[in-house]
Each structure stands twice: as structure tokens, then as C-alpha cells.
Amino acid sequence: MKEDSIKTIGMKEESRKEALLTYLLEVEGLTDILDKDFEEWSNFDGWENISVQQWIFARALEVYRGKKIDIRCGCCEYINCLKNDFKAINNQKCNGIKSAYMIEKVLSEILLAAAQRECDGTYSA
């Protein structure tokens, strides 16, 4: 995965021409999940809304397949960072950055599973 595969943008920012643009406000139920405490929203497997899980998983698959995605958060006018910074994710207020974190988290699991499939069982990835 390239470092610039996922970008979070505010409502007044332009999307990259080569990126697929997604609007978080169009994902019914996502904001409800991301507005919860960190322990709840960061536990992807514990989400009860399957369609939102599928949305996150589909974005992770797009990145896995080499596409770039821009996430328009709907809560910020501008996001002043060059790349997603997840160091203080548990205190993050922006739903776009939280979504990018979850997409990258699921993507890392996809990458791990792919590496394990390529292994014949003799060596661990």
C-alpha cells in the first residue's frame, strides 16, 4: 500500500483527480458508531451495523487493489495534515480520520491474510 492511498479531506477541500471520493455523511449509521467512546468504535468486530462494516471493508479492498480514496468527513472544513496521523486516535474528533484509521486497520488484516495464503505453511509471514 502506498502512503497516500487514503486521504481525509474537509468539506471545502478538493478531491484528488485520481482518487475515488467517498462521503461519510452518505454512510448511514457510521457517524453513530464513530461518535462512541474509542473502545467501542475502534472494535470493528464488535460493530452491530453490518452494512457499515461492509462499507469499511469495501474501502479497504479498494486500497488493497491499488486504488486511492479520498474521504470527505463532513465535520471539518479543512483537514490540516499531509497524511493521516493516528498517534492520538483515541482523542480524535474528526470522523474522516477515524474512518481512515478503521480502513487502514482492516487493510492490515487483509494484507496479513494475503501473506499467509501465499505461504505454504512451512514458514510464517
**Number of Cβ atoms within 10 Å of the Cβ of 79:** 21
Interval 59-84 mean pLDDT: 87
Among the residue ranges 24-28, 39-43, 83-87, the one predicted with the least confidence is: 83-87
Q: Where are the domains of the chain?
A: 6-118
Whether 66 shows a pLDDT value over 80: the answer reads: yes
- pLDDT tier, 118 (very low <50, low <70, confident <90, very high otherwise): confident
What is the per-residue DSSP string for 14-60?
PPPTTEEEEEGGGSTTHHHHHTS-HHHHT-GGG-S-HHHHHHHHHHH
Cα–Cα distance for residue pair 106/63, rounded to 1 Å: 11
Q: Which of 103, 112, 95 is nearest to 44 (CA)?
A: 103
pTM (two decimals)? 0.86
Q: Is there a contact between 98 and 73 (Cβ–Cβ < 8 Å)?
A: no
Cα–Cα distance for residue pair 84/6, rounded to 1 Å: 8
Q: Is there a contact between 17 and 78 (Cβ–Cβ < 8 Å)?
A: no
pLDDT, tens only, 106-115: 999 999 988 8
Interval 4-20 mean pLDDT: 93
88 against 56, higher pLDDT: 56
- pLDDT tier, 82 (very low <50, low <70, confident <90, very high otherwise): low
- pLDDT tier, 23 (very low <50, low <70, confident <90, very high otherwise): very high
Q: What does each C-alpha distance from 63 to 12, 20, 71, 110, 124 come to in angstroms?
A: 24, 10, 12, 10, 24
